[in-house]
Structure 1
C-alpha cells in the first residue's frame, strides 16, 4: 500500500501543477475571466478585494467527484441547446493539486475510455486565450437601443465596400444568400434604417465583421475607416470586427430570436457561425449551430412548399445546405457526435446555378455549363458532408480497424477528380480568370484531412494493425495539406483567401503537422526526414505571424515548438508494454483536437519521453 502511494507521488511530482484559469468568482458564476488581478468581471461586479485565483481551503479531496460523460444521443445532438459534453468534468471548486492522482486513475482505464475522451471539443472554462468579455460576440450586455445599434454600423460608403467585397470574394465559399434579394433588402434598409428587420440587420453586421477580419490591416483600402490610426492597426481591426459581431448578436437578441424565427434569423445565425469558425474557433459555434438546425427545421427549410416562389424556395435550400456544411467542420474536427442523423433528413439540395438564373418565374440552367457556378463550392461541400459523415461514423466505431479501406479511399478520390474537372482549366492547371483555383485548394484540404482520419489507426509500426501503405498515405496527405497551407500564405493568386489561415484551415494544418511528426518518429533509421522537418518549421513561422489574430495559431505554435524541440533533441518514444493500450492514450492520438486547443493540459517533458496527456479532471 505504501509503495503504491509512493509511486503515485513520484509520478505526480513530474507533472506541472496548472494554475486555475479563472478566479474563484468567475468559476463559480461561469463567467469569462481575463486573469488580471483583479479581473475585469470582478471590477464590474464590485468584487475587487475578493478576486482570487487560489482554491477555497474548505474543500476536501473527498469532495472531488469525477463524472464520466455518456455518449451523446441523436436527440441531444439535434436539439443542440445543451452544452457540449466534456469528459472528465471537474468540480468548479476542486483544487488543481488533485490532478495527478486523477490522471493516474485514468491511465488504468481501458483503452475504450481513452478513445472516447480524446474526441471531445475544448471546454470553454479552459479557454485561456479568450478575449475579454467586451469583445466576445456572445456578451451582448445590456439591451442596446436601435439608435445605438445604428451608430455602431459603419457609414454607408463603407457598408457598400464591405458588402461588395463579401459577394466578390467570400460569398462563393458560403453561398447561403441570394445576391439580388439581398441587394433589394439592402437598398430598402438604407432608405429607412429605423424600419428595418433586426435579424436582417444582424446579417449585415456579421457580413461587415467577417469582411474586416479577412482583410490586411495595412490595406490602403481601409484608410479612413478609423478617424485616427493607432500604433497597432491589426489589433484595432480585430477589435472593430468583434464589436460588429457582438452587435450582430445584440440585434438577434433584441429581435427575440430564441422564440421568434424567420428566414433572416437563420441567415444571420449561419453567417455568425461561419464567421466564428474561420476567425475564432470552430467549437465556439457549436451551441448556436444546434439552434440554427432547429430553426431551420421550424422554418421547414428541408421541405419544399408549393406556396413559395422559386427564389424563396432556393433561399431555404441554400440555408439547409449551409447547415450541413457547418456540421462538416464539427464532424471531422471533433467527431464527438455522430452526424448520421442528418443524412436521414430527406431534402432537396439547392440548384447548381448562379444567382441571376433564379427569378420569380423559375430557375434557368447556367448560361455556361462548362464553368463553375456560384453554388459549385457549396454543392461540393454537401457531397463532402455525406462522405465525411460516413467515414467518421466508420472510424469512431469498432469497424475502424477494418483493413478494407479501398472503398473510402476510392470515394475520396472520386470527389477529388470531380473538383479537378470543375475548378481547374481544361489543361488541369490553375485558372487565372476567376477564383476557381482558390476553391479547388480549399476543397482539397478536406480530402487530405479525411485521408489522415481514415488511415490513423494503421499508421504506427507498434500497433498490431499496422499497414505500411497507411503510414505512407498519412505522410503524403499531411505533407500535401501543409503545402496547401503554404500556398494560401504565399501565392499572390490566393491573396484574398489569406484569412482562411485564421481558423479551420490552420487547424487542419496543425492536425497534419502532428500526424506527420508521429509518422516521422516511427520511420526506420536512414529515412530522410529533413524536407518534412523544414516544412514543419515553415508552418511554425506562418502560425507565429497569425498568432496575434488567431487563437488557433497562437495555441498551435506551442504544439509546433514542442515537436521542433523534440526532433532536435533526437527523442524517440520507447517501446510500450501494451502497444495498443498505450498508443490509444498518448500523443499518437493526433485526432485529439481538444488537447491542441487546451495546451495547458499537456505536460511537455522535453528532457525525456513525452508523458501521457494530462486530462484535467
Structure 2
C-alpha cells in the first residue's frame, strides 16, 4: 500500500479513522479493545512532507528548550495547570513565532494524552490492567495475571489432594455438568473436564484452578441426592462439604487471588456462593463477591463489547476456544451483575452501574462444542429452546428491572413524612410489580408449566417452580416497605393482594412436588429455601391480620399454607443454616399467631424473635446470622407491634 503524504503524523489508529469514531490515540486504543480488535490496531504510516514544520522547528528550538525548563520547574513545584495535548503553554518567543506561521505549534512531547497522568499513576501502582496496555497479543493480556506463583512452579510436577478418588471426582463433575451447572452457568464444564483429565495425576500450575475444582466438587456434594452420593461411596456428606469448602477458600488465598487476578478465581467465588449461605458464610461471600467484581473489571470482563463477526483471534487460540472463552467471560460478568443488582432492595446501593459496562448478555446456546459452534460462530438458539443459559438469562432480565426500580425511586426522591412523597414511592413500587409480572409472563413456556418434551433434561424438573419462587421473592422485595402497612391501610391494598396471591401460588405448587432426586436437589438450593421462608412469613402475617381482611382471603388457609412451607424446609435443617434459622423464625411467628386467639392485646417484639432464632445456633459452631433477604425483608419497622 502506498504511504500517504501529509504535513503531520497521524495520532488516531487506522480503524477509528476509517469508521470516523473518536480514538484514544493509544495503541491499542480503547475503542479497538472494546471491539476486540486489539491485534489490528495501528496508526497509518504517513510521510511528513511539510517544509514549514521543519522551518518552525528550527526557529522555535531555542524557545522550546527554554519552555521545557519552565515546565520541568513547574512539575517540581507541582503547580502546573492541566494541559490539553497538542496545546502546550506558549512562551513569549513562541507567541511571536505564531504571528509569522499559521500552522499550530507541535507538542513539545508528542503523543501525550489527557489520561496520561492517571495511566502513569496506576502504572506506578502496578495495576495489571495498565501493565497489559500495549500488548498486541490479546490472549497474553487476558492471561498475564495467571502467571503461576513460585510455590506453584516448585510443585508443578507433584501430586495434589483430590480429597475424593479420581473415579468419584469424575462422577461428581459429570453430575455437576448434567444437573447443577445451570445454577451458576459460569464454568464451561466440557472444557473443565478436559482440564481435569490433564491435571488429575500432576499438580496444576495454577492454584486458582485448584480452588475452582474444590468449589465445583463442594457444590456437587452439597446439592446431590443422598442416593447418588451413596452409589459413589460418599456417605458422610456434611463433613465432606465443609472440608471441600475450606480447601477451596484456602486455595484461593494460596493463589494470592486479590493480587494475582485470574478468571478462575472469579469463577470460584461465583460457584462457592451456591453453598456459602447455607454454610453460614454470608458475610465472607459478600466480601468475596465485591472482590470478584473488582477482579473482573481488572480483567476487563465488563468491556467485552457487542457480539460481532470474528475479525481476528489470538494466534495461539483456536476459533472455537476463543468463542467459548468469550461466552464464559460474558456469563461470569453477568452473574456478578445479577448478584449485585438483586441485592439492591436489601442494601439500597449497588457496585455496578448500568452505564459503565458494555458486555452483552450471554447468548442462548448449548455447551457441547458440536452444537455450540457452527461455521466459526456461536450457534444461537431461540429463547424458547432450553439451554443451560436459559435460567440465568431470565434472571438477568429481572435484575435489570430491580436496578431500574432503584434508579426511578432515587429520582422520585426520599418521601420523608410527606403523604405525597410516600405515594410517589408507592407508584414506583406498582411500576416494578407490573414489570416483574410482565417479565414472568414473557418467559418461555418451560418456566411456566410442567415439562413434557423429551428434549428437556431430566434433572432440573423443578425449574418452573424455582422460577415462580424467584419471581415471588422479587415481588416481595419491591413491596417490602408496604407489606405490613398493607394489612391495615387500604391505600396499599394492592401490595397485600399481590404478595399474598403469589405466596399462595408458590406453596400450593410445592405441595405437588414429587419425592424424587430432582426435588430433593432443588430443596437444597439456598435461594429456594430463602424464597419459601419469605412466602411463609407473608402468609403468617396475613393469618395474623385475618380479622381485618375477612372479605379478602381465608385466614385459616393462609395459616395452613404457611405450615406446609414450614414442613417443607424442615428436612433441610440438617445441612442448611438458613433452614435452621428460618424454621425457628416461623415457629416463633406461629406462637405469636396462636396467642392472638387467647388475647387480643398480644405484643409483637422483634427482639424476642431474634433471641428465639439465635437459640437454634447453640448446637452449632460459629456466629450464625439470617440470610440478608430474611434479615431485611420484613423487619424494617418498629420493634413493638400491638395487635389490638
Same fold (TM over 0.5): yes
SS at match of 1:153: coil
Q: Distance in 2 between matches of 1:220 and 1:269?
A: 26
Counterpart among 182, 185, 190 of residue 195 in structure 2: 185
2:542 is aligned with 1:519: yes
Q: How does 1:597-612 map to 2 (within 5 A)?
A: 612=640
Q: Is the 8 A contact 1:544 1:557 kept in 2?
A: yes
Q: Which runs of 5+ in 1 are unaligned?
A: 1-142, 227-232, 577-581, 588-593, 603-609
Partner of 2:81: none
Partner of 2:256: 256
SS at match of 1:374: coil
Q: Distance in 2 between matches of 1:146 and 1:241?
A: 26
Q: How does 1:341-490 map to 2 (within 5 A)?
A: 341-342=353-354, 344-355=356-367, 356=369, 357-359=371-373, 362-366=376-380, 370-392=384-406, 397-398=414-415, 401-402=423-424, 403-404=426-427, 405-421=429-445, 423=447, 428-431=449-452, 433=454, 434-435=456-457, 437-459=461-483, 460=485, 466-486=491-511, 490=514
SS at match of 2:451: coil
Q: Distance in 1 between matches of 2:408 and 2:529?
A: 25
Q: Is the 8 A contact 2:225 2:520 kept in 1?
A: no
2:343 is aligned with 1:330: yes
**Following TM superposition, by how much is the alpha carbon of 1:359 offset from its aligned partner in structure 2, in angstroms?**
4.4
Counterpart among 174, 178, 185 of residue 164 in structure 1: 174
SS at match of 1:547: helix
**Following TM superposition, by how much is the alpha carbon of 1:443 offset from its aligned partner in structure 2, in angstroms?**
2.0
Partner of 1:290: 290
TM-score, normalisation: structure 1: 0.62
**Following TM superposition, by how much is the alpha carbon of 1:216 offset from its aligned partner in structure 2, in angstroms?**
3.1
Q: Which runs of 5+ in 2 are unaligned?
A: 1-151, 306-311, 315-321, 416-420, 610-623, 633-637
Q: Measured at CA, do residues 173 and 343 of structure 1 come closer, stay the same or move farther in structure 2, by a change above 3 Å? A: farther
Q: Distance in 1 between matches of 2:528 and 2:384?
A: 28
Partner of 1:508: 531
Partner of 1:316: 329
Q: Distance in 1 between matches of 2:469 and 2:364?
A: 22
SS at match of 1:514: helix
Q: Distance in 2 between matches of 1:366 and 1:461?
A: 45
Q: Distance in 2 between matches of 1:344 and 1:242?
A: 37
**Following TM superposition, by how much is the alpha carbon of 1:283 offset from its aligned partner in structure 2, in angstroms?**
4.4
Asked which structure has the greater CA Rg, the reply is 2
**Following TM superposition, by how much is the alpha carbon of 1:241 offset from its aligned partner in structure 2, in angstroms?**
1.0
Counterpart among 517, 531, 541 of residue 557 in structure 2: 531
Q: Measured at CA, do residues 222 and 400 of structure 1 come closer, stay the same or move farther in structure 2, by a change above 3 Å? A: farther
Residue by residue over 1:334-376, the C-alpha shift from the partner in whole angstroms, topping out at 9 and shown as x without a partner, is 3343356256433222211112344497323346774212211
Q: Measured at CA, do residues 149 and 189 of structure 1 come closer, stay the same or move farther in structure 2, by a change above 3 Å? A: closer
Q: Distance in 1 between matches of 2:334 and 2:608?
A: 37
Q: Measured at CA, do residues 409 and 263 of structure 1 come closer, stay the same or move farther in structure 2, by a change above 3 Å? A: same
**Following TM superposition, by how much is the alpha carbon of 1:453 offset from its aligned partner in structure 2, in angstroms?**
2.5
Residue by residue over 1:492-535, the C-alpha shift from the partner in whole angstroms, topping out at 9 and shown as x without a partner, is 3842633435x222122222222222233223365632222112
Partner of 1:547: 573
Q: Measured at CA, do residues 251 and 461 of structure 1 come closer, stay the same or move farther in structure 2, by a change above 3 Å? A: closer
Q: Is the 8 A contact 1:213 1:279 kept in 2?
A: no
Tell me the number of residue pairs that the alignment of Structure 1 and Structure 2 aligns.
437
Partner of 2:130: none
Q: Distance in 2 between matches of 1:325 and 1:411?
A: 17
Q: Distance in 2 between matches of 1:462 and 1:574?
A: 17
2:201 is aligned with 1:201: no
Q: Distance in 2 between matches of 1:456 and 1:249?
A: 34
Residue by residue over 1:540-570, the C-alpha shift from the partner in whole angstroms, topping out at 9 and shown as x without a partner, is 2233322121111111121111121122222
SS at match of 1:150: coil
**Following TM superposition, by how much is the alpha carbon of 1:575 offset from its aligned partner in structure 2, in angstroms?**
11
Q: How does 1:566-585 map to 2 (within 5 A)?
A: 566-570=592-596
Q: Is the 8 A contact 1:445 1:505 kept in 2?
A: yes
Q: Distance in 1 between matches of 2:252 and 2:365?
A: 30
**Following TM superposition, by how much is the alpha carbon of 1:466 offset from its aligned partner in structure 2, in angstroms?**
3.1
**Following TM superposition, by how much is the alpha carbon of 1:416 offset from its aligned partner in structure 2, in angstroms?**
0.9
